[in-house]
Amino acid sequence: MMASTLFRTIQIHPFLLYPTTLFRRRNGALYCTMKSTQTQTATQEKQQPSKVKVSQHTQSKTLDKIKRDYEAVIGIETHVQLSTLTKAFCSCPYNYGSQPNTSICPICMGLPGALPVLNSKVIEFAVKLGLALNCKLSLNSKFDRKQYFYPDLPKGYQISQFDIPIATGGYIDLDLPLEFGGGHRKFGITRVHMEEDAGKLLHSGNEDYSQVDLNRAGVPLLEIVSEPDMRTGIEAAEYAAELQRVVRYLGISNGNMQEGSLRCDVNVSIRPVGQLEFGTKVEIKNLNSFSSINRAIDFEISRQVLFHSQGQSDQIVQETRLWEEGAQKTVTMRKKEGLSDYRYFPEPDLPEVILSQVFVDSIHNSLPELPEMKRRRYEKMGLSMQDVLFLANDMNILFELLAKGGTVKGLIEEKDLVQIADPIEIGKMVDKVLSENPKQLGQYRGGKTKLQGFFAGQVMKLSKGKANPGLLNKILLEKLNAES
Amino acid sequence: MLSTIQPPRCLSRIAVRGRTKSRSLHILSSAQSVTSASLIDHSQILSIRDSLLSRHLSAVQLTHSYLDRLKQTEPQIKSFLHVSDPDKVLKQAHEIDEKIKRNEEVGPLAGVLVAVKDNICTADMPSTGGSRILEGYRPPFDATAVKRLKNLGAIVVGKTNLDEFGMGSTTEASAFKVTANPWDLSRVPGGSSGGSAAAVSARQCVVSLGSDTGGSVRQPASFCGVVGLKPTYGRVSRFGLMAYASSLDVIGCLGSSVADTGILLHAISGHDTLDATSSKREVPDFTSQFTSASSLESRPLEGLRVGLIRETVDGGVDSGVKSAIQSAAAHLEQLGCILKEVSLPSFSLGLPAYYILASSESSSNLSRYDGVRYGSQASSDELNSLYKESRAKGFGPEVKMRILMGTYALSAGYYDAYYKRAQQVRTIIRKSFKAALDENDILISPAAPSAAYKIGEKKNDPLAMYAGDIMTVNVNMAGLPALVLPCGFVEGGAVGLPVGLQIIGAAFDEEKLLKVGHIFEQTLQGYNFVPPLDADGVFA
């Protein structure tokens, strides 16, 4: 069922921006460089020693074998942008896509003399999520200042929660999609805390300057940190998808990865099967869809396993890597020099957050039936797992079904929702798109591999969103890389 | 009436210690009826209101007289960083006169000229915080306190000089100028609200707003011989006050009489939805309890328990200051108070704890001054140097020092030893004050260990300067209200240097402080706390 979720959420952007790559972190400070790190990456690629040519097929077969000796340990940090009417600490509204700096005030701009005042909805939403994730709520928590310098952070600190988050020690139940083997999973949630978002940086085309848009500064976020319980890319992707369902069910967020109202950073490490000690952890950013999460993790696991298998496990360093959608790989962004010192201290401008049990109970009583509850209920009703997942995991279908009646299968066919998974049919669509875009094809073959995303998007459009994404990309890559 | 505005022409020199008649004060008598009219003698604000409403004086005349005096004295005193355009000010005064002519209601502060410390935001005037990093910065909003004053008819006559971002005790840390003490132009007016205190002292304005984080309203009040009031933390909204130490900062009031500071405090107090730390407590009419001296009973403060803080009259305090405080204590006893010595053993811990907390919070609060969105920006090709250059050029040495100290105290591995520990000391101080104020109605002490010292004397000895805050910081640590009013003189300058008595009260008990202060002030004989500036604004 994740596939159907995937097709609803993938909107492939032809030109992905990597804003943060322009600011390299060195010696704990961030600064703007004249050269783009993308160029550097390309240079690095060219400078890599040529590898022994082994057929891809053989390579992946061997790798699969080796992989079985290792276990991947994956944890995810998710930021959920809350859909409150106004920002966390001021009365500015937030609308994605507004003209830059049109939704700002002295408070979210960090002007001298301005002070934050907490939007009480933020607490309500945080408690809702904490309860939905089966967490223990801290009835007494507080805000802290997380301090660092960056142009999108107007005050020079972010109001967040450090040592006493509003919720801790929870878990989430989900079912893996049937096409990936199905199965029930339970993943731990370490903590949920409240914080404010930073603004956005827009980089000029020729990278001479950058501009600051503070519309997003001060928008409330909930940060969800998972236990490192996932073991595969699919598990991680489904975890993210389930979080999306939960926040949408609760009505606290759009949970939209493309708009940035749901953001995931994953941490991946591997260890030999049986070893208790964790391996070196690598953080991956720039994941804009569930399928990217899946593919990035799979790639990263392979990358790390390869090093291990060649006796070069010390080549795996603790760092942040970026997922490149076009090239379908992770690349170095910056090396983590230990933990940054954010000089946390309690936010003196805001009073302690005190929750009464009455308040918590009233929120508990107002929670809707969450996806997990629904799934278990449908299962008990005797529905097939496929129908269970389809129904419970897609709210729109559900609402329509309730309104109109009829069977699930009938509705699927009626809505022409059946996914296209026939490689020949997809192949035809890819051919069509490639022939209709000769200029871009030429550019791609000339080295602009980023354009894969563009083509994928065009095929998706052509298929009215029904093409199986995994298959699409596989076929697309084959055809793109074939000699014309 | 006008004599209280213009300086007296011939002023008999006041002996340093002793009683000479220079200002007629009512001798305590037992049975005279109360008339609010006589209160007017002890409140500039009320006498202005009376004159305006009775048409004895117009707001325009009044404004001219203050503006002239400001112009005359400003070259010597240098209290202001920005003086309002006289035409604008006179226009506001004219509007008040027109309203009065039409028998329309005017606010209780109509026609009152107020000076505002330059770390308090005013929308129609520059607000620099005394710093180059905000040179030319004009806020798009008024601080809540300023808004409230304006709504009541007050006229903001200008922005006063201060130590940069409130960090200092002399105004020598201002990026722009050093203010002179009206009692002796070679001496400091105190700080950081030195400009606000000097402006009131030199009668360049009626009242002024300052800010007090570790004594910055009270110590300059003492040095300049005016009344300074630090309200309870949370009594007045901090919205629009450029933050120095968020958990310690308050906006305070300065005036030439206790009544004036009380009226000013009432005007700006009260909950503000824009300040989450502002108190929802009801604001009483602070001056409703005031009665004029003539109607006081012979021992009007009978039974009031007063605790003199022993640690503040020990060694390290100027002997002249000590004896002025002791005279003040004796005066309070004459008024019926029961005087006791009180010991606050944690007293000496306050100073180091204060400097850790204040530096830490300020290092965070000043991070926003990075040259990116407002203020002065150094040109640079690269982000890190943009930050470095803007801040290196924009901040003065005192501010830089405190940012460094604060950053260090908050850094990983040090937080527990410094910040956390200082917070624990703070709790101890709070508790010890509370215990003392359970046993006593008020506590008294000097406001500073000495009178005003020479400009340049402490500039290169920051620790010595910090040590001068010992009398005042504990009050901020405990969040309590305190009033400083002139009680005597020590030797120095042309006619002596004023000394202030600090009265500390329980949280939100400004009413009691003002009541006691008012009675003290009215019954104090033989002192003239108007500095001897003659009509040409020059010291004789």
**Could you tell me the pLDDT band of residue B31, with boundaries at 50, 70 and 90?**
very low
Kindly tell me if the per-residue pLDDT of B9 is higher than 50: no
Give the integer Cα–Cα distance in Å for B32 and A406. 95
State the average pLDDT over residues A336-352.
87
| Residue pLDDT, tens place only, A265-300 | 999 999 999 999 999 999 999 999 999 999 999 999
- Cβ contact (<8 Å) for A343 and B415? yes
Kindly tell me if the per-residue pLDDT of B498 is higher than 70: yes
| Domain CATH for A445 | 1.10.10.410
DSSP 3-state of B9: coil
Distance in Å from the first CA to the final CA of chain B: 24
The shortest CB-CB distance from B370 to any of A106, A149, A345 is to: A149
The reported pLDDT for the residue numbered A25 is 34
- Cβ contact (<8 Å) for A112 and B373? no
| Residue pLDDT, tens place only, A149-198 | 999 999 999 999 999 999 999 999 999 988 888 999 999 999 999 999 99
Q: Per residue, what are the HEC states of B348-380?
A: HHHHHHHHHHHHHHHHHHHHHCCCCCCCCCCCC
Residue A367 CB partners (closer than 8 Å, separation 6+): A128, A131, A132, A250
Kindly tell me if the per-residue pLDDT of B33 is higher than 50: no
The reported pLDDT for the residue numbered B94 is 98
- Cβ contact (<8 Å) for B383 and A115? no
A266: closest CA among A303, A332, A321? A321
Examine the residue annotation and report whether B192 is marked as an active-site residue of this protein.
yes
Kindly tell me if the per-residue pLDDT of B537 is higher than 70: no
DSSP 3-state of B526: coil
Highest mean pLDDT among A466-480, B396-410, B525-539: B396-410
Give the integer Cα–Cα distance in Å for A284 and A277. 21
Same domain, A469 and A383: no
Give the integer Cα–Cα distance in Å for B221 and B454. 16
Kindly tell me if the per-residue pLDDT of B11 is higher than 70: no
Considering the domain B44-305+445-523 in this protein, what is its CATH number?
3.90.1300.10
**Could you tell me the pLDDT band of residue A53, with boundaries at 50, 70 and 90?**
low
Amino acid type, B435:
A
Pairs of CB atoms within 8 A across A/B = 108
Give the distance from residue A341's alpha carbon to the nearest chain B alpha carbon, in angstroms: 6
Examine the residue annotation and report whether B196 is marked as an active-site residue of this protein.
no
Q: Write phi, then psi, for B366 (nearest 5 degrees).
A: -90, 5
- Cβ contact (<8 Å) for B387 and A110? no
Between A338-342, B25-29, B150-154, the lowest mean confidence (pLDDT) is in B25-29
pTM of the predicted model as reported, rounded to 2 decimal places? 0.83
Q: What percentage of chain B exceeds 70 in pLDDT? A: 91
Please give the torsion angle defined by the CA atoms of residues A290, A294, A295 and A301, in that order, rounded to the nearest 10 degrees: 150
The reported pLDDT for the residue numbered A209 is 85
- Cβ contact (<8 Å) for B242 and A112? yes
Same domain, A388 and A288: no
From chain A, the residues in CB contact with B385 under 8 A are: 31
Kindly tell me if the per-residue pLDDT of A210 is higher than 60: yes
Same domain, A237 and A310: yes
- Cβ contact (<8 Å) for A114 and B239? yes
- Cβ contact (<8 Å) for B384 and A155? no
Where would I find the beta strands (DSSP E) of B459-524? Answer: 482-490, 497-504
From chain A, the residues in CB contact with B129 under 8 A are: 112
The reported pLDDT for the residue numbered A399 is 56
Residue recorded with tokens 């600090």: B502
Residue in B43, B79, B196, B216 annotated catalytic: B216
Residue in B127, B192, B208, B222 annotated catalytic: B192
Give the integer Cα–Cα distance in Å for A29 and A31. 7
Same domain, A409 and A427: no
Q: What percentage of chain A exceeds 70 in pLDDT? A: 80
The reported pLDDT for the residue numbered A59 is 62
Same domain, A142 and A281: yes
Same domain, A80 and A163: yes
Same domain, A191 and A83: yes
Structure tokens at A365: 């009583």
The DSSP code for B479 is T
* Cβ pair B170, B483 in contact under 8 A: no
| Residue pLDDT, tens place only, B233-276 | 999 999 999 999 999 999 999 999 999 999 999 999 999 999 99
**Could you tell me the pLDDT band of residue B3, with boundaries at 50, 70 and 90?**
very low
From chain A, the residues in CB contact with B273 under 8 A are: 117
Give the distance from residue B134's alpha carbon to the nearest chain A alpha carbon, in angstroms: 9
* Residues A219, A221, A224: CA angle, nearest 5 degrees: 170
Between A25-34, A122-131, B411-420, B472-481, the lowest mean confidence (pLDDT) is in A25-34
Same domain, A145 and A268: yes
From chain B, the residues in CB contact with A111 under 8 A are: 139-141, 368, 373-374
The reported pLDDT for the residue numbered B463 is 82
Kindly tell me if the per-residue pLDDT of A334 is higher than 70: no
Same domain, A101 and A131: yes
Q: Looking at chain A, which residue has its C-alpha nearest residue B386? A: A31
* Cβ pair A186, A171 in contact under 8 A: yes
- Cβ contact (<8 Å) for B246 and A118? no
Q: Based on the structure, what is the number of domains in chain A?
A: 3
List Cα–Cα distances, A183 to A173, A417, B207, in angstroms: 11, 24, 75
Per the domain annotation, does A252 fall within a domain?
Answer: yes
Which of B120, B360, B364 is the best substitution to test chain A (most A C-beta atoms within 10 A)? B364
Give the distance from residue A264's alpha carbon to the nearest chain B alpha carbon, in angstroms: 27
- Cβ contact (<8 Å) for A154 and B412? no
Kindly tell me if the per-residue pLDDT of B286 is higher than 70: yes
Give the distance from residue A44's alpha carbon to the nearest chain B alpha carbon, in angstroms: 24
Give the integer Cα–Cα distance in Å for B321 and B489. 8
- Cβ contact (<8 Å) for A212 and B373? yes
The residue among A382 and B260 whose pLDDT is bigger is B260
| Residue pLDDT, tens place only, A293-302 | 999 999 999 9
Q: Chain A residues with CB-CB distance to B under 8 A?
A: 23, 29-34, 106, 109-118, 145, 147, 149, 151, 154-157, 212, 341, 343-345, 348-351
State the average pLDDT over residues A35-57.
44
From chain A, the residues in CB contact with B275 under 8 A are: 115, 117
Strands A70-81 and A262-272: antiparallel
Cis peptide before B192 (omega within 30 of 0): yes
Same domain, A375 and A339: no
Strands B113-117 and B207-212: parallel
Q: Looking at chain B, which residue has its C-alpha nearest residue A109? A: B373
Give the distance from residue A140's alpha carbon to the nearest chain B alpha carbon, in angstroms: 17
The reported pLDDT for the residue numbered A418 is 61
Which of A23, A31, A90 is the best substitution to test chain B (most B C-beta atoms within 10 A)? A31
Per the domain annotation, does A204 fall within a domain?
Answer: no
**Could you tell me the pLDDT band of residue A207, with boundaries at 50, 70 and 90?**
confident
Distance in Å from the first CA to the final CA of chain A: 36
**Could you tell me the pLDDT band of residue A44, with boundaries at 50, 70 and 90?**
very low
- Cβ contact (<8 Å) for B360 and A157? no
Structural domain harbouring A411: 369-415
Give the distance from residue A107's alpha carbon to the nearest chain B alpha carbon, in angstroms: 9
Give the distance from residue A284's alpha carbon to the nearest chain B alpha carbon, in angstroms: 25
Give the integer Cα–Cα distance in Å for A431 and A35. 36
State the average pLDDT over residues A22-30.
33
The residue among B420 and B24 whose pLDDT is bigger is B420
- Cβ contact (<8 Å) for B273 and A343? no
Give the distance from residue A250's alpha carbon to the nearest chain B alpha carbon, in angstroms: 28
Kindly tell me if the per-residue pLDDT of B38 is higher than 80: no
Q: Looking at chain A, which residue has its C-alpha nearest residue B279? A: A351
* Cβ pair A112, A183 in contact under 8 A: no
List b or e across A306-328, with b for residues whose CB sees 16 or more CB atoms inside 10 angstroms: bbbbeeebeebeebbbbbbbbeb
H/E stretch holding B445: strand B442-446
The reported pLDDT for the residue numbered B289 is 76
Between A120-124, A401-405, B201-205, B396-400, the lowest mean confidence (pLDDT) is in A401-405
**Please, where are the H alpha helices in B239-381?**
258-268, 319-334, 350-365
The shortest CB-CB distance from A147 to any of B276, B367, B369 is to: B367
- Cβ contact (<8 Å) for A112 and B382? no
List b or e across B368-397, with b for residues whose CB sees 16 or more CB atoms inside 10 angstroms: bbbbbbbbbbeebeebbebbbbbbeebbbe
Structure tokens at B161: 């000089």
Q: Write phi, then psi, for A334 (nearest 5 degrees).
A: -155, 155
Same domain, A176 and A92: yes
- Cβ contact (<8 Å) for A32 and B382? yes
From chain B, the residues in CB contact with A33 under 8 A are: 382
**Could you tell me the pLDDT band of residue A23, with boundaries at 50, 70 and 90?**
very low
Kindly tell me if the per-residue pLDDT of B119 is higher than 90: yes
B249: closest CA among B272, B221, B277? B277
Q: Looking at chain A, which residue has its C-alpha nearest residue B409? A: A343
The reported pLDDT for the residue numbered A64 is 78
* Cβ pair B453, B497 in contact under 8 A: no
Kindly tell me if the per-residue pLDDT of A13 is higher than 50: no
Kindly tell me if the per-residue pLDDT of B474 is higher than 70: yes
From chain A, the residues in CB contact with B120 under 8 A are: 113
* Cβ pair B159, B80 in contact under 8 A: yes
**Could you tell me the pLDDT band of residue A411, with boundaries at 50, 70 and 90?**
low
* Residues A231, A235, A238: CA angle, nearest 5 degrees: 160
Kindly tell me if the per-residue pLDDT of A337 is higher than 90: no
Q: Looking at chain A, which residue has its C-alpha nearest residue B238? A: A113
Kindly tell me if the per-residue pLDDT of B25 is higher than 80: no
- Cβ contact (<8 Å) for A348 and B247? yes
Examine the residue annotation and report whether B411 is marked as an active-site residue of this protein.
no
Q: Write phi, then psi, for A455 (nearest 5 degrees).
A: -65, -45
Same domain, A282 and A381: no
From chain A, the residues in CB contact with B418 under 8 A are: none
**Please, where are the H alpha helices in A251-394?**
290-309, 357-366, 371-381, 385-393
